[in-house]
Amino acid sequence: MATQTAEDFKTPDPTATTRAAVLIIDDEPIAIKNLSYVLNREGYTVTTRSTGTGGFKALEDQTFDVVITDLKMEKVDGMGILKKALETDPDLPVILLTGHGSYDSVVKAMKMGAYHYLSKPYQLDDIREIVKNALELVRLKRENKRLKSRISEAPPGVQLLTQDPHMLGLINTMRQIAPSECNVIISGENGTGRELAARFIHVNSPRSDQPFIVVNCSALQDEVLADELFGHADQGSKQGLITDAAGGTLFLDEIDRLSPGLQVKLLRAIQDKALQGPDDKPDIPLNVRFLAATNRDLEQAVSEGQFREDLFYRLNIIHIHLPPLTERTEDIALLAYYFLKKYSRLMNKDIDDFEPEVIEALNQYHFPGNIRELENLIERAVVLTTGNTITLAQLPPGLTEHSLSVMRFNKNRLPTLDEQEIEYIKWVLDKCGGNRTRAAAILGIDRVSLWRKIKKNNL
């Protein structure tokens, strides 16, 4: 039977909006009354049964997110409920309520897959916390299964995996512009997938069966890059990469690193749709689509005289800006499963899942290296894993030893004090699971002041 305190009948936190379904099975009416009252007040949908047989039937008829059951009951006991619950849903958390002298049964139940147990008399605060944690665990497991299913069903070819609304809008834009001949600038931090976006545009265009040639403008010295791009006639003519891309697409990564002289030559080629012929020979016609990428603000580079304005406007017919991974956190788990499948296959390993704590740690990390860093982390984890599940032990220690995440600043403007405050409040609320009372205590303000800030800033 539960031990009550005045706190047990408090007003529920208004941030608890989840209508999770909880099944309570106990043959003690007072236990059912207290548990159902408290969990209803927490915002859950509660179903109660006073017999194991009734609980067994409820599991057949309804879907639940958590089951709380007494261990000792007539006919169908808690072990029978546990077995039925796990047959219904292997991820369904079952919390056992036990009396004295039930140690052997508890050990057996935990080995069978019970989520937790509480010895009577227990504190209702403990039930609150355990149910909350169980719901978070089942949410993560179900979400991870959904993501794994999405990865399995993904079609082959160049994919931009996302469930982020902003990224879905960008993909739709890229599909729309792919059939056209317009040049495109793709901007974004290193590791956000600029080249993958360029390939996506290419494979969805009429040029998809023609060459897609990548040139990193920062990888070669100026003279060598000029020869690679435009070719040369010394000691026998050599065709340049622009000519090699005939009929297809030329992707110029880190376009901002082109020297002024090469910018002029590239501008002339784009404007004339031709390359200047050697000596007195005629110009060579060009049929190439140009896609360019940069991690800089090219408009600022133009205003500072570091990039030609006329070349910028020739390339910037359409501008696609890829957000950093911290602005599309919904995609972290999706991409993690994609890389898990990729590297498990490459290394001939049977690894098919993450512990929920791993996904939680990845979601809290700020990823300065974006998607490329995430891919490297998963590849490393697959190398180190000996079982079939990635655990926290396979992640770098620094990733799980978090303090306050590094805030990303706009490269062209420092954030205001109000913006810093908003980001910090959001971070603290996230760490507190949305609990405003705890967040207010950490922030050093009262709950009413926090509520006003949340309302004012639409948090």
> pLDDT by residue (tens digit) across 242-258?
989 999 999 999 999 99
Q: Is 100's pLDDT higher than 80?
A: no
Cα–Cα distance for residue pair 394/294, rounded to 1 Å: 33
Whether the CB-CB separation of 56 and 76 falls below 8 Å is answered with yes
Q: Give the model confidence (pLDDT) of 157-172 as tens digits.
A: 567 888 888 999 999 9
Gyration radius (Cα) of the chain, Å:
30
| Superfamily name with CATH number, domain 165-321 | P-loop containing nucleotide triphosphate hydrolases (3.40.50.300)
Q: Is 85's pLDDT higher than 70?
A: yes
Label residue 454 by pLDDT band (50, 70, 90): confident
Q: Give the model confidence (pLDDT) of 263-295 as tens digits.
A: 999 999 999 888 876 666 667 888 999 999 999
Task: State the DSSP code for 275.
Answer: E
Q: Is 16's pLDDT higher than 50?
A: no
Q: What is the pLDDT of residue 4?
A: 42
Q: Is 446's pLDDT higher than 70?
A: yes
Q: What is the pLDDT of residue 404?
A: 44
How would DSSP label each residue in 193-236? -HHHHHHHHHHTSTTTTS-EEEEETTSS-HHHHHHHHH-B-TTS
For the chain, residues classed under CATH 3.40.50.300 are 165-321
Q: What is the pLDDT of residue 153?
A: 59
Cα angle value 320/326/328 (rounded, 5°) = 60
Give the mean model confidence (pLDDT) for residues 84-94. Answer: 89
Could you tell me which residues come within 8 angstroms of residue 258 by beta carbon, excluding any fewer than 6 positions away?
A: 217, 225, 252, 266
- Identify which has the larger pLDDT, 309 or 139: 309
Q: What is the pLDDT of residue 145?
A: 75
Give the mean model confidence (pLDDT) for residues 7-28. Answer: 62
Q: What is the CATH code for 2-150?
A: 3.40.50.2300
Q: What is the pLDDT of residue 220?
A: 82
Q: What is the CATH code for 417-456?
A: 1.10.10
Label residue 22 by pLDDT band (50, 70, 90): very high
Q: What is the pLDDT of residue 421?
A: 82
Q: What is the pLDDT of residue 443?
A: 78
Q: What is the pLDDT of residue 233?
A: 58
Label residue 8 by pLDDT band (50, 70, 90): very low
Whether the CB-CB separation of 151 and 144 falls below 8 Å is answered with no
Give the mean model confidence (pLDDT) for residues 358-382. Answer: 91
Q: What is the pLDDT of residue 255?
A: 95
Cα–Cα distance for residue pair 184/298, rounded to 1 Å: 13
- Identify which has the larger pLDDT, 224 or 237: 224
Options 1.10.1200.10, 2.40.50.180, 3.30.390.50, 1.10.8.60; CATH of 325-400: 1.10.8.60
Task: State the DSSP code for 306.
Answer: S
For the chain, residues classed under CATH 3.40.50.2300 are 2-150
- Identify which has the larger pLDDT, 178 or 145: 178
Q: What is the pLDDT of residue 371?
A: 94
Task: State the DSSP code for 327.
Answer: G
Q: Give the model confidence (pLDDT) of 401-432 as tens digits.
A: 544 444 555 545 566 777 778 888 887 787 66
Label residue 21 by pLDDT band (50, 70, 90): very high
Q: What is the pLDDT of residue 156?
A: 56
For the chain, residues classed under CATH 1.10.10 are 417-456
How would DSSP label each residue in 393-451? GGS-HHHHS--SPPPPPPTT-PPPHHHHHHHHHHHHHHHTTT-HHHHHHHHTS-HHHHH
